[in-house]
């Protein structure tokens, strides 16, 4: 039986339009269950799709700081999240349950 070749799935390769990025972020917010690192990781996926260098520049952060903040291994400050969301061209919104 021949071996099946697999490759690692990278969601950033499939986020091509602002609408896809917004939908992915919205789904991530719904699935996070209060896990801030999960949300940071989702923002990292979107940032990689847009280009980390440009997002870092637009957010007023160094590229290294952006990678660290969105690694999913730490929880960035809310001010950092707001800068990144704006740099990605996204908006946070609230609605009643």
Q: Is residue 9 part of a domain?
A: no
Residue 76 and residue 56 in contact, taking contact as beta carbons nearer than 8 Å: no
- pTM surpassing 0.95? no
Q: Is 6 within the bounds of a domain?
A: no
CA-to-CA distance for 38 and 81, rounded, in angstroms? 12
Instruction: Please say whether the beta carbons of 47 and 10 come within 8 A.
Output: no
User: In this predicted model, what pLDDT tens digit does every residue of 31-83 receive, in sequence order?
Assistant: 999 899 999 999 999 999 999 999 999 999 999 999 999 988 888 999 999 99
Residue 4 has a CB neighbour count (10 Å cut-off) of 5
Work out how many domains the chain is built from and give that number. 1
Rounded Cα distance between 37 and 16, Å, is 23
Domain that holds residue 66: 17-87
The reply to whether 55 falls in a domain is yes
């Amino acid at each position: 039986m021949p071996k099946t070749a697999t490759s690692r799935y990278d969601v950033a390769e499939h986020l091509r339009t602002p609408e896809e990025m917004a939908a992915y972020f919205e789904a991530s917010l719904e699935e996070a269950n209060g896990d801030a690192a999960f949300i940071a990781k989702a923002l990292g996926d979107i940032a990689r799709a847009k280009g980390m260098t440009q997002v870092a520049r637009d957010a007023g952060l160094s590229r290294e700081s952006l990678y660290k903040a969105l690694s999913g291994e730490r929880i960035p400050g809310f001010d950092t999240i707001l800068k990144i969301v704006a740099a990605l061209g996204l908006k946070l919104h609230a609605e009643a349950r």
